[in-house]
Amino acid sequence: MSEKQPTIQNFVASMNKSGGYARANRFAVVITPPGGLEKLINIAGTNAFANGAAIVETGQAEELSSLTRFQSLSRKVGQQVNLHCNTVGMPGHDLQAQDMQHGSAPGRQIVQSHDYAGFIDASFYLDSYLRERHFFEQWQQMAVSNTTHKANYYDDYIGTMEIFQLDANGEITYGIKAVEVYPATIGGIEYSYDSSNTVALQSVKFQYRQWYNLTSESIAGYAGLSQYITERKTYGPSSVTNQAMFDEQP
């Protein structure tokens, strides 16, 4: 062969140039609960009291109380929840294709759409008061009342989640933002007397609609791609920097 085969020296030099491997234990998570929470509380408060007299049913009053408790939890426990995230899964992205065949020629898988299937699975260290679990319980009550068993509006209980890859210095090298997030499933907690040295963990499955790349549109450190990418259309909200769509080979 005319070209030399890769050697261990080439491999080591390549990894040194790229900054080394991504480590699975170097990550950060930022969970943001529903942004309209304060507005919801104000609306509920206006409906709940007129001229100092309560005019709502017990279920509505309890819902207001739940919103108020969650606002307090969000302020006091929100940062703790982010810091206590023990594990989290970076979500994937699926291209959905359909088989197309012309005559007797071999078929092709033609992309028809895309989807963000599955959940974002995460687990959290629990403090002695189980504040992290309480936080997600109150969030779920924003979606459906435990007393009236009625579901609320979708926009009232969705938040966001950001997941970051960090380097050895704690700097962000890659990040995604999942939108329309809510805790779909709060897992159970297993107790046993032989787990005296084990920290209790809370597993949570987050539902989400889609995610966006928050890092640079060009691949960091590789020249020649920036101009190509800027000539292509980007997708998603203009408020975040998104990954470019490649419609052909450069």
For residue 170, what pLDDT is reported? 86
In this prediction, residue 57 carries a pLDDT of 47
- Averaged confidence pLDDT in the chain: 76
Mean pLDDT (whole number) for 213-240: 48
Per DSSP, the chain holds a count of helices (H) and strands (E) of 5, 11
Q: How high is the pLDDT of residue 168?
A: 86
What percent of the chain has pLDDT above 70? 64
pLDDT at 22: 85
How far apart (Å, rounded) are the C-alpha atoms in residues 96 and 13?
38
**Burial of residue 52, with CB atoms counted within 10 A of its CB: 0-12 exposed, 13-18 middle, 19 or more buried:** exposed
Question: Among all chains, which residue has been given the structure tokens 């009236």?
Answer: 148
**pLDDT digit string, tens, across residues 139-166:** 998 899 888 899 989 998 999 999 999 9
Mean pLDDT is lowest, of 46-60, 68-82, 231-245, for 231-245
Confidence of residue 17 (pLDDT cuts 50, 70, 90): low
Give Cβ neighbours of residue 82 (< 8 Å, ≥ 6 apart). 28, 29, 30, 31
What is the pLDDT at residue 50?
A: 43
pLDDT exceeds 60 at position 29: yes
49-53, 109-113, 168-172: which is most confident = 109-113
> What token pair was written down for 139?
């969030």
Query: Which one is predicted more confidently, 63 or 139?
Result: 139
What percent of the chain clears pLDDT 90, i.e. is strictly above it? 38
pLDDT at site 236: 32
pLDDT value, residue 187: 96
- Which tops the pLDDT comparison, 15 or 221? 15
**With the CA atoms of 50, 55, 56 and 57 taken in that order, what torsion angle do they form, in degrees rounded to the nearest 10?**
160
Question: Is the pLDDT at 110 greater than 60, yes or no?
Answer: yes
pLDDT score of 177 more than 70: yes
What pLDDT was estimated at residue 151? 92
